[in-house]
Chain A
Amino acid sequence: DAEITQSPRHKITETGRQVTLACHQTWNHNNMFWYRQDLGHGLRLIHYSYGVQDTNKGEVSDGYSVSRSNTEDLPLTLESAASSQTSVYFCASSEAGNFYEQYFGPGTRLTVT
């Protein structure tokens, strides 16, 4: 069965370190998204991609970057981790088009100490 996976599921890192969170989908979806979930804010979009070599900034992109070298993967990099980036991160994917639902991964809980 097709799926979307994230790794690691839990990560503790120190302030200032570079961290990369992996997202891999086997749906063959063109669209991929990264969100962070924080209490009181719901889900906020960090970055998104509509295909290989395409990346776009979301509403909370500062301090994060992504790259899309193939259809299956959209890794999220925190260039220099900050305590404000402690959060739960979700990756999602969907078919191309205006009205398709998104499929979410299980999430990565990141703690920056």
Chain B
Amino acid sequence: AQSVAQPEDQVNVAEGNPLTVKCTYSVSGNPYLFWYVQYPNRGLQFLLKYITGDNLVKGSYGFEAEFNKSQTSFHLKKPSALVSDSALYFCAVRSRDGGATNKLIFGTGTLLAVQP
């Protein structure tokens, strides 16, 4: 069965420091992986996705993610955190249950808190 794990409920980082939000996945075959961000009282916003090709994917707001097939990971990174990056981050994997579908399986989310 497909699944996504976000091992940290919360990540704390000082403004200006690099940040990493971890995600590991379990799927059969090639994965399609996504990161979303949710600001308070808002819906989820798409950040970036990995479909194929370069293992380093660049997305919105200066975020990037590194796909590592051997470690089945897709960690979200940013070189220099901003207070405004404080939000809830979700990793997701496309469900491969047959056919041309794009159902997503979401992790439980990681709260990123950036201190000034």
Chain A residues engaging chain B, CB cutoff 8 angstroms: 31, 33, 35, 40-45, 48, 50, 58, 90, 92, 94, 96-107
Contact = CB atoms under 8 A, between A and B. Distances in A.
Contact of B103 (A45, A101, A104): A45
Contact of B32 (A90, A98, A105): A98
Interface residues of B, number: 22
A-B pairs, top 10 by smallest CB distance, nearest first, are A104-B43, A42-B108, A101-B46, A43-B106, A104-B44, A42-B106, A99-B51, A106-B43, A99-B32, A42-B109
A97 B108 contact: no
Given A42-B109, A43-B90, A105 B43 contact: yes
Interface string B39-51: 0011111100101
A62 to B, nearest CB: 18
Interface in B76-112: 90, 94, 100-104, 106-109
A74 B102 CA distance: 17
B33 to A, nearest CB: 10
Identify which of A42, A44, A50, A92 gathers the most chain B CB atoms within 10 Å of its CB.
A42
A107 B41 CA distance: 8
B63 interface: no
Contact of A102 (B42, B100, B104, B107): B104
Given A42-B107, A43-B90, A97 B43 contact: no
Interface in B16-65: 32, 34, 36, 41-46, 49, 51
Given A42-B90, A99-B32, A48 B43 contact: no
A99 B46 contact: no
A97 B100 contact: yes
Given A42-B90, A43-B106, A98 B45 contact: no
